[in-house]
Amino acid sequence: MKKSAVFLLLFFILLGFFACQIPKAVEIIGTPSAKFAETVDIGKIFADLLRDAINKDERLTIIPCPETEIITYLIHAELLNKEFDDLDDDKSGFYEIFPHSEEDQLADDIDTDIPLADDKILFSFDSEKEDPENRLIVPLSELGLLLPGFEFYDGKDAEGNDVTDQEGVYKTKLYFSGSQIVEKSKIIIKIGKFEFNEEEDKEEYKEIRDDIIIEKDKIDNEKSDIDNWKISEYDENSCPDSGVEIEIPITGEDIAISFKILIPKGELLEQADFKDCNINVEIVVWLPFKFIAKDEEGAALHFPDGSFFSSEDDLFGREEPDSDSLIFDIFESISVDVKFHDNPFMGADLIISSKGIDIHNLIENDWLSFTITQDNMDAINEPENWPFIPDIKIGFVKGEKLTFPRVFNAVEFAFKAKVRYRIDL
């Protein structure tokens, strides 16, 4: 700063010595720019939201899939891991296993090998009726808040029709295993969500699809390989082959999973069915970070706070609507460019929005570029548009897809300004 003052003083002394007269004003015109390399892992920013939410529930495990071209995770949910005592001759432990049934009927069925006259509930977990802290929720809303209008890609277009593009499709597998009793059982999966009813001032449960019924002939009595996945990650590039595939809608909302295990009507129960009795129910979600815009008004990717601008106040430092900022006197326009290693946003609309301001830029290459023009600067400087706190988002029309590549980094940043400043002497 002191050197600048010395040079400026020398400039005026020399100018006065050699010129016929001292100038009345000095005008500075130019387009200064700066470019620097810095790697910002955008994919990690989004993936961390999912990982942090999953890790809050010990029944959930998230496992990276490092061999895929798309950022992908396996989410493992342990719905049930229960052991029962073997049944002794007087069947004293039988009613612990069948808490929902009539003791006399069950005793007759077991003693006389009479087929069950009705479906009998072996176990029931009801998300709707459970206390909130006991509900099994797969938490996707933290990620979904930054991707409004998007859903995880399910291999269908925005109208729900099957398409040929099946790369990056999420899948859900059910694993139902244990002693011989599971091979005589069927399982019913219920999928719902909780919405807050402002009028009633409470959460309400809403089913989001019909019951998923897995009949006994579909049960393979096989556990997932979760113990190995926890140690060595999942080193395949596709969904596990094992388990029974079920259709669970994965959007950007938290989903609640509940289930019932039943012994179907007509089954013969034997004491051997309960030998070394244990029952496991697991769900595994293969979840690539590929999304499709399904909202009629399109969808948007919002960058988390602090990705580009860390200020929570006016970007130009104005404390009041009528505050002056030297920036508006010096800069006619400001340009910011962010280069991606592999840009997934080609053809999308980069939108910078704040109170009363919307700036649009079409993304046509590897650079995420936006310019705040002179007209934009004038609008930003209007008191009614204060404060200017830019929300950066990328807009997609309905039906467009967004894929997060394995390497999803911003690698270079460039800034340029058009300067015109006059000092009257």
Residue range 83-106, pLDDT digits in tens: 876 555 445 455 555 554 554 444
What phi-psi label fits residue 402: left (phi over 0), alpha (psi between -120 and 50 degrees) or beta? Answer: beta
> Which residue in 116, 88, 281 sits closest to 184, CA to CA?
116
114 and 224 inside one domain: yes
pLDDT at 133: 63
Kind plus residue range of the DSSP H or E element containing 106: helix 103-112
CA 212 centroid distance within chain: 24
Structural domain includes residue 359: yes
Q: Which residue has the higher pLDDT, 14 or 159?
A: 159
**Of 290, 314, 347, which marks where a domain is finished?**
290
What are the residues whose beta carbons fall under 8 Å from the beta carbon of 353, sequence distance 6 or more? 359, 390, 391, 393
Q: What is the pLDDT of residue 98?
A: 59
Check the CA dihedral 194-196-201-206 and report its sign: negative
286 & 307 share domain: no
Do residue 261 and residue 314 come from a single domain? no
> What mean pLDDT, rounded, does the chain reach?
82
Q: 244 and 221, same structural domain?
A: yes
pLDDT for res 14:
36
Could you tell me if residue 229 is inside a domain?
yes
Q: Per-residue pLDDT for 279 more than 80?
A: yes
Q: Which amino acid is at 390?
A: P
Whether residue 316 is found in the same domain as residue 284: no
58 located within any domain: no
Q: Is residue 145 part of a domain?
A: yes
Phi-psi category of residue 47: left, alpha or beta, with phi > 0 → left and psi -120 to 50 → alpha: alpha
Q: Domain boundary residue among 290, 313, 343?
A: 290
Burial class of residue 10, CB neighbours in 10 A (0-12, 13-18, 19+): exposed
Is the pLDDT at 75 greater than 90, yes or no? yes
Q: Look at the pTM and tell me if it is higher than 0.85.
A: no
Residue 281 sits in the same domain as residue 323: no
Domains in the chain, number: 2
Would residue 66 count as lying in a domain? no
Residue 144: domain span: 72-290
Q: What is the pLDDT of residue 112?
A: 47
Alpha carbon distance 159, 287 (integer Å): 21
382 vs 170, higher pLDDT: 170
Q: Considering the domain boundaries, does residue 38 fall inside one?
A: yes
CA dist list (Å): 193 to 35, 136, 362: 47, 11, 36
Does 344 share its domain with 327? yes
* Residue whose entry in the numeric block shows the structure tokens 């859900």: 172
Quick check: is 278 in a domain? yes
On whether both 315 and 386 belong to a single domain, the answer is: yes
DSSP-assigned beta bridge partners for residue 287: 73
- 182 and 309, same domain (yes or no): no
Residue pLDDT, tens place only, 288-297 = 999 999 998 8
pLDDT of residue 139: 94
- Residue 56 belongs to some domain of the structure: no
- Greatest mean pLDDT among 58-62, 130-134, 360-364 lies in 58-62
**Domain boundary pick from 290, 311, 327:** 290
Enter the tokens of residue 116. 């069950």
> What average pLDDT does this structure show over 3-29?
45
Same domain? 181 vs 270:
yes
Pair 93, 201 in one domain: yes
| Residues 40 and 80 both lie in one domain | no
